[in-house]
Chain A
């Protein structure tokens, strides 16, 4: 592979944030950014291994009809690649084993959790131990939220970041863990990277609507033990330019949106560590 950062954005079956996700990768400096329909992979015309950075964007996979991303996860687990007959999920696991980066946003995060790619506290990728379920409010909401990033987290996406202000747009974003022990492990591994916070970024909060869904321990984003797989409910690709900010007409904001930093970190990491 030539020395270029190659990003893939997967779409199809109800995914709908692929354009802005790809735009974020481009702005962050990725040399190649391909929006790839999942059927292209299932027909063997595209392979994950040709990329370094796998983006799983937001949307409604199969309408979230069986619960968010459930039917989508079923496809990843059981659909097979034409020609080879191997499950698609093998490609994903191989991608993870190579130490490459995966970012799941909203529905993409839900997909990663339901595939067991996150949090995988024991490195047991493929076993679901956590879930994202219906918001306590019982409704889908579009609203901007504040988050604080854990500076001690291994997450490569949030390096150097303090607070983040991004929109959530979901009905099923509440983190629920299978048991208390898991949460403990999650915190020990500093895997609960992002937490909904007060507007001054001082402390995590369980207060609605600052915490928009009632997520346990105010968790908004999670990484795996290596910090290379990362998922979050808020949409970093929705804040790439100042004019995306809900109050840009009344506040002095930097032209670059806060969401872009996550993508910059990813591309920089790939350039430094994977190429």
Chain B
């Protein structure tokens, strides 16, 4: 039987969701709506009496103080239009799941017979004099995402107050008809490509031919016969190979053989960017530290591991979830954050998660041109991603301590959603180093957490493609942070009891990747897909294997512990299923019941993918220095730059993330006299009875890619390090993560400039190599997402090449940490580091519509000395405030220091150490790197200056209590005199929604 329970607010109670929806309709869509009210609908499937449903409705489903409910009778009345939005079949419905569990618990005694399911939907009751076309626009452009949700519209004239909305049950109707299909690969090349394309396998011809050749090998055929398989590959095998060999999992571009040619025709060959630049620079840094090397596990596990102290390790990973966020911003971002949580959690023997950090790249939320097909409005992406990360982070109880939002029109085609998570683990687990993974043949393959559905099938291969017309709906999924939280609670306990030997997460590629990767540690596996718990019937064996259904970990459990492991899981209400055994047979052996569905050589699975051979050609851009007039009114110019999207306050987003849970917050994202200044980096204290702290910072500057990706990467690395040292991180104990998001750099018909884009990638890697070595800040893990293009019809939008460099480090005593806000009148304002005429791709040029060519360049030698010196100054307690100078230049940094501290600053531009054409605007807005703005108490002036002896350190102003930010220009004239409140308001206004 199908029943509907509806819950709405009492007349006297504010419906804030309705109010907010009303505001959004007016503001985002420009449709005039007077009022919106909401009703929650629970569609219940199961055999319950009316009385039982009344009890449930009055109990867990509604709040007696503020809500009213009805059973099988509509609540809605007095509206012009009604829109009901519900999920499509198979889409994760977290509220529905919780409602079902509540219902089952309520009637556990009588043993609720038969199948129980609860599906949720929401009604929006709209008061407005608008026509159906407008209502449809509200539904499709704001309330429902057609990919995952359906909606129904009802006008007041059609409304039947007795019957209401007809119930809709989004049940997945499937039947189990499991078939393992065979595919003939003994076909012509075109046919091979067709097989890849039709199956969304994202395998190129060389790869298909490598598989074809492998399946013609006599030895292989003999072995297959022994398990009842023929000469043809099974769909399970082909899918396993496609997942394992996907760009997402194998990083084929980063591992390609590249011939690079520079502007003068000098060529070099690179056998894998990853090996030659990223791994190699880390090796060199580690070697230089000798026995003081604090790296513990780099590039081999789900996340990088460094030492925190003798007893604990830090684990860090940043991931992207771009393509799903383009299609469903909320679900994509939510899955992104809970997904990256599982990376540190699934590293070594597992870690407690201690912080999240998120960086988003969007087009302007005020975009007002026609939208290309299938693209959601950037405001919708902004709101959806923000909310997805809010729910994912807050509900998991992990503080979101740091992040930023970058705006560029080219992120219209694909937004970038970087989600990072840090963890902490005891250095030793059951007497062994916790950062190593060990699996023994005979250990059970166990899957824990959520069940498997069709969600996320082909996520790994899909993310290896550009966004196109046929992008699969199944690639979209919605995370469930509570199911994951329950699982992590359970697994941390199991870890501390020593119940399992190794752990990894189920992310891209699902079981095929997680079991496949773990099996390589012992040399094989044999699992039975029929044992896997499913959300619903109708999945084919290959789908079970590659599904990316969320909230699952795969573990190796020693046979002697399996009963205790399962009992603890049962007690803590977490599903745990033994799927098979790890072996040393050298085979990836997958069965469905008794039938062998896949029998692949482990070596071929992991190492069989042929290396790509690519060409890269570098052509430097040669843009002229733009001619822009000096502003007549510098005050006005400052207000305008403060209000630019890349510079303005992100407080409204930051406030909606819990940045203090776990109790160790030290430097928050918002600091200063009114708790609203922009912090440079986060400091958290993960062990509450210790003062040792973790520092987290990010660097990202994609605009510079328009001139040279080498300097873009150098600046991103410098920015992350600069932010970290600005709060007091020690440069001697700082590690990095590289996270590349590129546009397709493989030359082809649809990417005629692939060789240039690949050269951009090569140059970014060269910079990464040069600067991580120069700073002694090794990369410990990373990620790449290489197909951030949008191609539909004649429209192609490629993102600017983007590198997010994230830094994680240590501060020995958090009580010495420094924030960016000016502290006291009378303090001296210093600038550390030279300013050059480096306005190429600056915010100042961008404000005038130019790019220019004088991109900032990083002098790591000088910067390193400066960063070490600021570390000493902070450690000695000489620094009142320290702020990183980045987007918008020193003028912006000093203005922020002033208004965050609620104190005026009087500065003198003539005192700024500068090389280049002496113009006030150039000096004020140049984005030269490695500069810090520091304020120092007058009594400490001498000690401070002594530390910087021989370095570029100039006194340029004084903190005062006038409430005015004033600047004297190079001629000594007053060019800016602005009240702090006004400057702050300009900075806070743009994104205050």
**B64→A243 contact, CB < 8 A:** no
- Mark out the residues of chain B between 4 and 26 whose CB falls within 8 Å of any chain A CB in the assembled complex: 13-14, 16-17, 19-20
Any chain B CB within 8 A of the CB of A60?
yes
User: Shortest CB–CB separation between residue B902 and chain A, in angstroms?
Assistant: 9
Q: Are A249 and B819 in contact, CB atoms less than 8 angstroms apart?
A: yes
Tell me which residues across on chain A come within 8 A of B666, comparing CB atoms: 243-244
Contact bitstring A64-108, B, C-beta under 8 A = 1, else 0? 111100110111011110000000000000000000000000000
Q: B726 CB to closest chain A CB, in angstroms?
A: 12
Minimal Cβ-Cβ distance residue in B for A66: B60
Measured CA separation A169–B63 after assembly (Å): 21
Q: How far is the CA of A180 from the CA of B655 in the complex (A)?
A: 33
**Residues B51-75 near A (CB distance < 8 A):** 59-66
Closest residue on chain A to residue B64 by CB atoms: A128
Please determine whether B573 and A131 come into contact, CB atoms closer than 8 angstroms.
no
Are A62 and B64 CB-contacts (below 8 A) given A143-B675, A238-B660, A250-B823?
A: no
Q: Is A198 an interface residue (CB 8 A)?
A: no
Chain A nearest CB, measured from B251 CB (Å): 34
Q: Is the CB of B658 within 8 A of A138?
A: no
The reply on B968 being an interface residue by CB < 8 A is: no
For the complex, is B657 an interface residue (Cβ under 8 Å from A)? Answer: yes
| Contact status B823-A142, CB under 8 Å | no
Minimum CB distance partner of B97 in chain A? A65
Contact mask B380-419 → A, CB, 8 Å, 1/0? 0000000000100011110000000000000000000000
- CB <8 Å contact, B16 and A140: no
Decide: B105 and A79 in contact? CB cutoff 8 A.
yes
Q: Could you tell me the distance in whole angstroms from the C-beta of A20 to the nearest C-beta in chain B?
A: 3
Interface-centre pick from A37, A63, A78, A136 (highest chain B CB count, 10 A): A63
B491 CB, nearest partner CB in chain A, Å: 13
Query: Nearest chain-A residue to B815 (Cβ)?
Result: A243
- Give the residues in chain B near A141, CB-CB below 8 Å: 655-656
A189 close to chain B: CB less than 8 A? no
Task: Say yes or no for B99: interface residue by CB 8 A criterion.
Answer: yes
Judge whether B572 and A247 touch: CB under 8 Å: no
Given A65-B94, A133-B13, A250-B821, residue A169 in contact with residue B65 (CB < 8 A): no
- Contact at A59–B17, with CB atoms within 8 Å? no
Contact indicator A13/B486 (Cβ below 8 Å): yes
Contacts of A126 in B (CB 8 A): none
User: Which one, B63, B95, B665, B688, contacts A131 given CB within 8 A?
Assistant: B63
User: Do B663 and A20 touch (CB < 8 A)?
Assistant: yes
When chains A and B are docked, how far (Å) is the Cα of A58 from the Cα of B571? Answer: 22
Which of the residues B13, B62, B95 comes within 8 Å of A65, measured between beta carbons? B95
Chain A, residue nearest B814 (CB): A243
Kindly state whether residue B423 has any CB partner on chain A within 8 Å: no
Q: Contact size class for B? A: 35 or more
Which residues of B are found within 8 Å of A242, using beta-carbon distances? 815
Complex-state Cα separation, A244 to B666, whole angstroms = 5
Chain A CB within 8 A of B625 CB: no
Most buried by B among A74, A131, A250: A250
Q: Determine whether B792 belongs to the interface, using a CB cutoff of 8 Å to chain A.
A: no
Q: Which residues of B contact A247 (CB under 8 A)?
A: 671-673, 675
Contacts of B94 in A (CB 8 A): 63, 65
Among A140, A143, A244, contact of B394 (Cβ-Cβ < 8 Å): A140
What CA separation (Å) do A19 and B353 show in the bound complex? 13
- Please determine whether A75 and B65 come into contact, CB atoms closer than 8 angstroms: no
Q: Are B482 and A16 in contact (CB under 8 A)?
A: no
How many chain A residues touch B (Cβ–Cβ < 8 Å)? 65
Q: Does B659 make an interface contact (CB < 8 A)? A: yes
CA distance A237 to B689 in the complex (A): 14
Does A135 interact with chain B (Cβ within 8 Å)? yes
Q: Considering the chains assembled together, what is the distance between the CA atoms of A129 and B396 in angstroms?
A: 30
A66 lies within 8 A of B675 (CB) = no
Given A14-B482, A246-B670, CB of A62 within 8 Å of CB of B101? yes
* Structural contact, A17 and B572, CB atoms closer than 8 A: no
Question: What's the Cα separation between A6 and B671 when bound, in Å?
Answer: 38
Does A48 have its Cβ within 8 Å of any Cβ on chain B? no
B573 adjacent to A176 (CB under 8 Å)? no
CA distance in complex: A59, B661 (Å): 9
A240/B658 in contact, CB under 8 A: no
Chain B proximity of A196: nearest CB distance (Å): 16
User: Once the chains are docked, how many angstroms separate the CA of A77 from the CA of B60?
Assistant: 10
Is A154 located at the chain interface by the 8 A CB criterion?
no
With a cutoff of 8 Å between Cβ atoms, the chain B residues found around residue A187 in the complex are none
A14-B485, A136-B14, A238-B663 known; A176+B65 contact, CB < 8 A: yes
A177 within 8 A of B: yes
Are B108 and A78 in contact, CB atoms less than 8 angstroms apart? yes
Among B61, B65, B655, B675, contact of A177 (Cβ-Cβ < 8 Å)? B65
CA separation between A144 and B396, bound complex, in Å?
A: 21
Interface status of B662 (Cβ within 8 A of chain A): yes
> Which residue of B60, B105, B394, B688 is within 8 Å of A20 (Cβ)?
B688
The 30 listed contacts between A and B (C-beta, < 8 Å) are A12-B489, A20-B663, A23-B663, A39-B572, A59-B397, A62-B101, A63-B95, A65-B99, A66-B60, A66-B99, A70-B102, A71-B60, A73-B60, A74-B60, A74-B102, A128-B63, A128-B64, A129-B65, A136-B14, A136-B16, A141-B656, A142-B658, A176-B13, A177-B65, A238-B663, A243-B666, A243-B814, A243-B815, A247-B673, A250-B673
Chain B residues near A (Cβ < 8 Å) = 13-14, 16-17, 19-20, 59-66, 94-95, 97-99, 101-102, 105-106, 108, 390, 394-397, 480-482, 485-486, 489, 493, 571-573, 655-668, 670-673, 675, 685, 688-689, 814-815, 817-819, 821, 823, 901
